[in-house]
Structure 1
Amino acid sequence: MIDASDKRLEGLRLSVRERLARAINHAQITGTINRADIRRLGEVSVTQASIDLREIKARFPKLLVYDVSAKTYLATDRIAAPQIAGNPESWGNSTMDWFHE
């Protein structure tokens, strides 16, 4: 996972660094990213999403590869999604106990 302070994002405005970091983390966790994902994550136009993808590819050249048949970018350096331990039946109750106190 990266954040806006990553050295590879230097020289960009903070809002852009944060948006690109969210997009990169999304790609690493889910394994894919496309313009629609960036639009949703950053609330930007299609044009800006395309610019963001170009910026990510320029600053992280080995991170993404385009899959023509799927029309999406695949993350080549994918990380595993976080795993939650325990029984799924107990997650809702135990995580909300504090809320009802």
Structure 2
Amino acid sequence: METIREKKYLSDGLSEAFNNHVTRDDLSEVQKETGVSVSTLIAIRKQEQFVTERSETAVVELAKRALKNASSTEKEARRSLKSLKSFLDCI
């Protein structure tokens, strides 16, 4: 189980998930909600800056958005796989 700890960098797994599933819009919206700058969020995501007490709430919000985006991507991938298999079965 991965956790977020203050004064620690994100784990490699969380960093990868954020890089793959957090959009620019997500970063902007979280900045507006929490007051943590987009540049700080990007630095945390890239493991260039560690999580602080102030940024922890923003990181949790990014994790929620990354999960939602990853779930949507997974559903799209399943639909695509079904279509591709159906197409290839007809050949």
Same fold (TM over 0.5): no
Structure number having the greater helix percentage: 2
Normalising by structure 1, we get a TM-score of 0.28
Normalising by structure 2, we get a TM-score of 0.30
